[in-house]
């Protein structure tokens, strides 16, 4: 049942994405309003799907690639809706919705067969560790979306094209502030997620840190965002530099999420990770 519920959510996200992009193209307020409503509907249905899968599987649905893709999209949409309640940036939907839709469609394409939970994952640390990390990654995804908006707006200003996209996007100060807020949400979540993972590793394998490939790339990602926040707080990094750095950080997030399991093994066949997705 949970799979077809996810398909309904994917359809709602598709409608939302089309409407948000229509708003960017026409600047008609109605398109944005209905796009936002469709996003809320998709998020509600998506939440129901996650609850149903939890009941059917008997464990937090974040262990397989299908589940992880779905949950990552849910985090992106949920954080996007929360940000909209606070900042009300209509054009953000045109950049955030396609990202969430992409991950949901990927989850749907993978199918959703429920597999028995690996004994190593049968721990109360599983939901704590993984949920924190995905929430942090969701905030970084939004930071990257805002960074793209910033770079587009900056380019419009440099070329002195004050029509079209210029009037559809917020001013640079608003975008820079929103980027910073996303980072301040994501970084603490990533930090606590890594710490809880280390505690879990100590209980499961007797060591806090084993330099597993995914652990190593998580640390690299943490260092990138730590450098960005340090630069913003102490050196005054803002604007284009912060936007580009946010995109680099999110590229590291994606590589940690997917590349370690599906790219590194092809480049380094002898390199193995304990953090392998089931299915």
* pLDDT score at 187: 95
Is the confidence at residue 1, as pLDDT, over 70? no
Per CATH, is 1-117 categorized as 3.30.70? Answer: no
Q: What is the pLDDT of residues 131-169, one digit of tens each?
A: 999 999 999 999 999 999 999 888 888 777 666 666 778
pLDDT at 145: 94
Considering the entire predicted model, what is its pTM? 0.90
Residue 269, pLDDT above cutoff 60: no
Mean of pLDDT over the chain: 85
Ramachandran class of 37: left when φ > 0, alpha when ψ lies in -120 to 50, beta otherwise: alpha
pLDDT of residue 2: 72
Structure tokens, 220: 């690299």
- Residue boundaries of the structural domains of the chain: 1-117, 121-279
The percentage of the chain sitting over the pLDDT mark of 90, rounded to a whole number, equals 46
pLDDT of residue 264: 58
Write the pLDDT tens digit of every residue in 190-243: 999 999 988 887 776 667 667 777 888 889 999 999 999 988 888 878 888 999
Categorize the per-residue pLDDT at 279 as very low, low, confident or very high, splitting at 50, 70 and 90: very low
Q: Is the pLDDT of residue 270 over 70?
A: no
* Residue-level pLDDT at 74: 96
Residue 31 vs residue 29, higher pLDDT? 31
Neighbours of 111 (CB within 10 A): 10
pLDDT digits (tens, 9 = 90+) for 114-137: 877 777 667 778 889 899 999 999
């Amino acid at each position: 049942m949970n799979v077809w519920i996810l398909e309904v959510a994917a359809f709602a996200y598709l409608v939302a994405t089309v409407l948000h992009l229509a708003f960017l193209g026409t600047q008609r307020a109605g398109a944005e309003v209905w796009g936002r409503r469709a996003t809320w509907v998709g998020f509600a249905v998506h939440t129901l799907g996650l609850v149903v899968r939890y009941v059917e599987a008997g464990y937090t649905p974040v262990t397989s690639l299908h589940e992880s893709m779905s949950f990552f999209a849910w985090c992106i949409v949920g954080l996007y809706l929360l940000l909209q309640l606070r900042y009300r940036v209509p054009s953000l939907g045109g950049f955030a919705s396609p990202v969430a839709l992409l991950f949901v469609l990927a989850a749907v394409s993978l199918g959703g067969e429920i597999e028995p939970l690996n004994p190593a994952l049968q721990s109360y640390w599983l939901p704590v560790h993984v949920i924190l990390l995905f929430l942090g990654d969701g905030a970084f995804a939004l930071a990257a979306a805002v960074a793209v908006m910033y770079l587009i707006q900056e380019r419009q200003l440099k070329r002195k094209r004050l029509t079209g996209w210029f009037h559809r996007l917020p001013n640079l100060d608003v975008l820079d502030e929103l980027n910073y807020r996303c980072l301040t949400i994501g970084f603490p979540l990533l930090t606590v997620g890594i710490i809880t993972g280390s505690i879990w590793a100590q209980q499961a394998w007797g060591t806090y840190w084993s330099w597993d490939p995914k652990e190593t790339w998580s640390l690299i990602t943490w260092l990138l965002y730590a450098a960005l926040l340090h630069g913003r707080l102490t050196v005054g990094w803002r604007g284009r530099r912060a936007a580009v750095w946010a995109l680099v950080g999110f590229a590291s997030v994606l590589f940690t999420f997917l590349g370690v399991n599906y790219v590194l093994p092809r480049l380094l066949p002898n390199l193995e990770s304990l953090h392998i997705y089931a299915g």
